[in-house]
Amino acid sequence: EMMVGRHVSFKTEKIPSNPKEVVLSIKNLVVNENRGIPAVKNLSLDVRAGEIIGIAGIDGNGQTELVQAITGLRKVKSGDITIKGESIIHKTTRQITELSVGHIPEDRHRDGMILEMTVAENIALQTYYKEPNSKNGILNYNVINAKARELMKEFDVRGAGELIAGGDLSGGNQQKAVIAREIDRNPDLLIVSQPTRGLDVGAIEYIRKRIIAERDKGKAVIVVSFELDEILDMSDQIAVIYDGAIQGILDPAETNKQDLGILMAGGQLNKEEANV
């Protein structure tokens, strides 16, 4: 409270989820890491419209490779991934994005922004080739810059303006700019990795509410986070990943950090506690 000048709640109020049709379906997925060793091992998972699936696990258990496979940043060795019934394992990243997929990556520098480009250009990265941002291959900077100013105000991205380099923003403001870009696209599937890393406590509260609001609008959401409090707070179901596979799926209302920790370490709960 002293840091931000007001009361901050780390428990986000939300209405019960109302899951509908399957948006993302992963079947028997195998994905190799950079050394050619399987990092995702025969993993299956469905994510429905109107729900948040939280993925909990110790760093290095396949979360990164899983997200990269879904978003087209890493090749799939075997298995299938479908989005709204369409297989995407041979599609490019842009083709996947145009299936109404938003991606907030865990590494905002490597995958989220081009640091030498302006904040406005970074916010337009996913839509620069579409009207009204461009026409006949010519960028309309009046539109691009105006949109950036609007989103910077809405998401409280603090800096000297939309024309400074993305790399000149603080880490937390870079994160908020990436989140603003992806949420503004109104995707049917939103994949969020480490959403509040580097943010102050006030911004954490706001970003969690915005992600939950996407769920309430009927979007399918995946949240990958190493923060168990965040996973427990935001998720409608928690899929625990261990050694590249789903170790169990838990209801956050009926579980705790201890149960999650057991599964994250490769242990097992009884059948009533873990829906494997």
54/250 Cα distance (integer angstroms)? 10
Six token digits for residue 232: 């427990």
Q: What pLDDT sits at residue 271?
A: 55
Summarised one tens digit per residue, pLDDT across range 22-80 is 999 999 999 999 999 999 999 999 999 999 999 999 999 999 999 999 999 999 999 99
Q: What pLDDT sits at residue 275?
A: 54
Residue 156 lies in a domain: no
Range of the domain at 55: 1-100+231-276
Residue 183 lies in a domain: no
Residue 153 lies in a domain: no
103/94 Cα distance (integer angstroms)? 11
The answer, yes or no, to whether residue 270 has pLDDT greater than 80, is no
Instruction: Say which range, 65-74, 109-118, 207-216, 266-275, has the weakest mean pLDDT.
Output: 266-275
Residue 197 lies in a domain: no
Q: What pLDDT sits at residue 9?
A: 66
| Mean pLDDT computed over 6-17 | 78
Put simply, whether the predicted model's pTM sits higher than 0.75 gets the answer yes
Cα distances (angstroms) measured from residue 31 to each of 15, 35, 98, 144: 35, 11, 23, 37
Tally of CB atoms within 10 A around 229: 11
Query: Structural domain tally of the chain?
Result: 1
| Mean pLDDT computed over 214-238 | 95
Instruction: Say which range, 59-63, 79-83, 94-98, 204-208, has the weakest mean pLDDT.
Output: 204-208
**At 255, which CATH number?**
3.40.50.300
Residue 246's pLDDT band, with cuts at 50, 70 and 90, is very high
Q: What pLDDT sits at residue 167?
A: 94
Instruction: Say which range, 42-56, 121-135, 139-153, 202-216, has the weakest mean pLDDT.
Output: 202-216
Residue 129 lies in a domain: no
Q: 41-69 b/e with 16+ CB inside 10 Å = b?
A: eebebbbbbbbbbbbbbeeebbbbbbbbb
Q: Biggest alpha carbon distance in the chain?
A: 60
Q: What pLDDT sits at residue 78?
A: 97
β-strand 138-139 against 220-224: which pairing, if any? unpaired
Residue 201 lies in a domain: no
Q: What pLDDT sits at residue 269?
A: 83
Q: What share of the chain is helix, strand, coil (3-state, %, to 5)?
A: 30, 25, 45
Angle at 199 between CA 197 and CA 202, to 5 degrees: 135
Residue 202's pLDDT band, with cuts at 50, 70 and 90, is confident
The answer, yes or no, to whether residue 273 has pLDDT greater than 70, is no
Q: What does DSSP assign to residue 254?
A: G
Residue 145 lies in a domain: no
Q: What pLDDT sits at residue 177?
A: 94
Q: What value does the mean pLDDT of the chain take?
A: 92
Q: What pLDDT sits at residue 259?
A: 93
Residue 221 lies in a domain: no
